[in-house]
């Protein structure tokens, strides 16, 4: 006995509806992201770079600040890359293992980008969501403060902070994050002005929910998509900025190092034909920046497919 066609269509429709109900927006975003081959490859590369920064030091017996005097020759302090000596990336101008210093430099650069982006998106999201939710004079006053701060050269502000409070890694993290939240505040404000007119926000306001709870529980969670995308695209800019500061000698101080400091040191020694001092830090720097940009672009397309 053949099944009734209407029954088959009803069962198929019910299965389709069940599948649609079972898939969340995050699941759809994950599916779209997985179809972006460049973003997936970049994410794998980024994971490998992160693993190198965390576990790379276990693959060598040399400390980052240990000077190896065992090499002989006229230019012994410029040890070439060799597995026999254990200096996989060679040594720097002071005879320190470049592999160990590249591991630390990669880790510090990633930390500067991640922590700086976290501070920027946290401050910017809360500030912009507050301004957009209240609107009126409060919004006008808060955004005028943003306009005034954006008119101040942020490079001057960061250098002034490092000079006054000392050149430490913590101050570098804090300074880069605090001067990079302004754009996030504008983005969050614009999105909040649209979200606050939604029914669920008006319902929460009608039953007497405190504005702070409305902002934290209803508005900020609906900003997570754009916040994640902006943070991913902000991290490489933070790393580039930190590298520039370290290149000038105002960033991470000895005996610690970062990719920017290593690149600056390698560039100064290029005239001696010591290309490996520049090649290895620059390689990890370029790979990290490209991977972050491709991952950020993939997240943007996945979380906002209408933007493609």
How far is 281 from 264, CA to CA, in rounded Å?
Answer: 10
66 pLDDT exceeds 50?
Answer: yes
What does the alpha-carbon distance between residue 259 and residue 109 come to, in Å, rounded to a whole number? Answer: 6
pLDDT band at 24 (very low <50, low <70, confident <90, very high): low
At residue 271 the predicted structure's pLDDT band, cuts being 50, 70 and 90, is: low
For the question of whether the overall pTM of this predicted structure is more than 0.85, the answer is: no
d(CA 217, CA 231): 20
> Class assignment of domain 34-57+88-307?
mainly alpha
Dihedral over Cα of 118, 124, 307, 23: its sign? positive
CA distance 16 to 204: 33
What does the longest C-alpha to C-alpha distance in the chain come to?
94
Question: pLDDT tens for residues 129-159?
Answer: 999 888 889 888 999 998 888 887 777 777 7
Please state whether 97 falls in left (phi above 0), alpha (psi between -120 and 50) or beta: beta
Residue 23's pLDDT is what? 57
Q: Which residues contact 263 (CB under 8 A, 6 or more apart)?
A: 243, 247, 278, 281, 282, 285
Annotated domain spans of the chain: 34-57+88-307
Model confidence over 224-239: pLDDT tens digits?
A: 778 887 888 788 888 8
* pLDDT of amino acid 78: 55
């Amino acid at each position: 006995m053949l099944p009734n066609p209407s029954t088959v269509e009803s069962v198929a429709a019910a299965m389709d509806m069940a599948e649609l109900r079972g898939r969340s927006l995050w699941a759809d975003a994950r599916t779209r992201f997985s179809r972006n081959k460049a973003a997936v490859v970049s994410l794998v590369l980024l994971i490998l770079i992160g693993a190198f920064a965390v576990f790379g030091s276990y693959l060598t017996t040399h400390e980052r600040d240990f000077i190896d005097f065992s090499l002989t020759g006229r230019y012994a302090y410029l040890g070439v890359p060799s597995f026999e000596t254990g200096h996989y990336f060679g040594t720097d101008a002071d005879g320190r293992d470049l592999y160990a210093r590249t591991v630390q430099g990669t880790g510090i650069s990633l930390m500067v980008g991640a922590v700086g982006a976290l501070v920027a998106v946290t401050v910017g999201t809360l500030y912009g969501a507050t301004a957009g939710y209240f609107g009126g004079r409060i919004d006008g006053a808060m955004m005028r403060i943003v306009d005034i701060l954006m008119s101040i050269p942020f490079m001057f502000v960061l250098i002034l902070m490092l000079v006054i409070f000392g050149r430490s890694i913590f101050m570098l993290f804090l300074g880069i994050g605090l001067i990079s939240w302004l754009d996030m505040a504008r983005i969050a404000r614009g999105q909040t002005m649209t979200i606050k007119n939604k029914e669920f926000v008006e319902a929460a306001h009608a039953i007497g929910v405190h504005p702070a709870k409305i902002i934290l529980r209803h508005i900020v969670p609906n900003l997570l998509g754009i916040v994640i995308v902006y943070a991913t695209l902000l991290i490489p800019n933070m790393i580039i900025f930190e590298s520039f500061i370290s290149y000038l000698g105002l960033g991470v101080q000895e005996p610690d190092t970062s990719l920017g400091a290593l690149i600056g040191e390698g560039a100064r020694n290029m005239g001696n034909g010591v290309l490996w001092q520049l090649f290895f830090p620059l390689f990890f720097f370029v790979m990290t920046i490209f991977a972050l940009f491709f991952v950020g672009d993939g997240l943007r397309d996945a979380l906002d497919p209408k933007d493609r």
